[in-house]
Structure 1
Amino acid sequence: MEGPIVLVGHSYGGAVISQAAEGNPKVKALVFVTALIPDVGEQISALAAKSTTSQLGPTNYTNADGSTGTQLTVNPDKFHDGFAADVPADLTRVIAAQQRPTDATVFSSVPTAAAWRTIPLWSLIARQDLALGADLERFEADRAHSKTVEVDSSHVPMFSQPNAVTDLILDAAKHTGR
């Protein structure tokens, strides 16, 4: 890819972009949209547990070999109110039906890099986020000295506040030095 790169991550994707950007001189900005921003050596589940408002929880399942695994998913009956309350109910029913559970073991991972420590970052905090929790998002943004925007949104502002998300990404892109 030519030119400067702006990486954008939502939810767990924040942990992914912070790790992936480490050592890549083309990455000039990171944008965290209601996202996790873990530090080096900080177990992701311990970071997520800092929220006092998150309503996400684990559920168990049985693997093909009979062993038990744990996944994180949102109960479809509670998806609208707990994950996307500001999105039309008919759309949240479709999103809930299409969600893919996340294996809970990803939350036991411990980042070996935190590119947000050296790359400028922007954060979007959703005041009504019941998935990660606005309290966690504020803590992370403050700790990272992020340029921050807050919106009245659920965990999915890309659906309910797409202009705010786009504006934040464009603001980050303006500051890439290109």
Structure 2
Amino acid sequence: MQLEIRPDPAEVGRARRWARSRLAGSGIGDDESLAETLILLVSELVTNAVVHTGCPAVLRLSLPRAAAESATVRLEVADRSERAPVPRCVDGDETGGRGLALVDGLADRWGWSPEGAGKRIWCEVDRCGQFRETATAYGGGASVSSAASVSSASSASSAYEGRAFEAV
């Protein structure tokens, strides 16, 4: 399933509504923590595409055929920008810049790869992993794998290219 996204901030709300309806159609109810986690991830990835690229994008949602307890849900946003996603460190007063940190904290795995004249950013959430407390996910329950860690912000974009990140 996919949804084409225009480079307009209003598209973020449309993407959330679209994803929520697809989740409900697959048996993942609004009242499940999995649904709320996935909707927040959709919101962050689509917002990043709209705000940071100014290009159209495509949101893809891969849902399990049955609502199995061990199923994995995958979200992807492909855009036409070649700029790598760069996780930022922001102080407490800034109003933005936390999107990839949220993705890192909420998804079981995430990463990105170049694709044609653009890139694809993806994340996965394992349905069986939803038993963990929400506070753990928000409190830094995920970390970047050591293979992708970098020592300076200037090398961040090249160090993260093509890497996958996994919650540990």
TM-score (normalizing by structure 1): 0.24
> Rg: which structure is higher?
1
Taking CA–CA contacts closer than 8 Å with sequence separation of 6 or more, which of the two structures ends up with the larger relative contact order? 1
